[in-house]
Structure 1
């Protein structure tokens, strides 16, 4: 049996990830799939693959294969989960209120997310991710969010999203009421 090169192994890992519903991998996940150390050699391999157009950098340390990209309708949410993995994140504020029709404005090219992690804004090929930190305890939030199985992210209830708007002192004029 032919031994696969690191580049072939990398593409195989992305392909397997996409088939499993992923397609977006962090540098640590790539190292795991390749059974390699997360070191300069791995980063050089990724840089070479990006230059050749085989792999696309989505955000710092987050990549997709251009040959087997993730579903474009859910990719932005996969990236969000990778950027702030390991902490509670939920779609809220203007994105959620637009999604549920509470506000008539349609948020285009941006997803507003409340997070227990650090705040930050990330430009990706799929749109802008805006993370806003919440200091509210998880037990105060948990009953007001639900899992959206299509995107595998939590969403705020309308009441929670409006409460988050107020808590972050964002524009309330768009509310229809």
Structure 2
């Protein structure tokens, strides 16, 4: 069985399709499978249409950039430092340097969460009622070892819970600013809590 020859229209159609397709190996030169045939109008052989080669490939040009590392839980000090300063700026700087003397102190060392939360609530609300502005809440830094269990527990449970409790009602309306204490007052194991004026 002999193969029939393609007509001129079929060859033109194939060349159009071939010119619109994307080459799998861009470095190889395209050679038309059909020899140039003379045009019916001019009688001169038609040149095969060769699509231009794409830009040269460079190693790494299509590589994806390194994924951004996500900090799902920023450190406690960084999250407190990112909060805007609500109190007087000069007093805030003096407080951070340990130059302001706290008017009251609550030590939560050794307390469990169920006892520490009500004690903190009582202390903050009574301090505000007494007209105090700056109080110190000592939480301790926590144990060095991880707590056993399927979920990791951050070191110093009270150290992490106290800022959360201070930002929620009923304490949120009494608290103006929370920041880690100066080393002279306990460092990262204590917090300065600056209270709003009692109205």
Larger fraction in helix: 1
TM-score normalised by length of structure 1: 0.22
With structure 2 as the length reference, what TM-score do the two structures score?
Answer: 0.21
Q: Which has the higher strand share?
A: 1
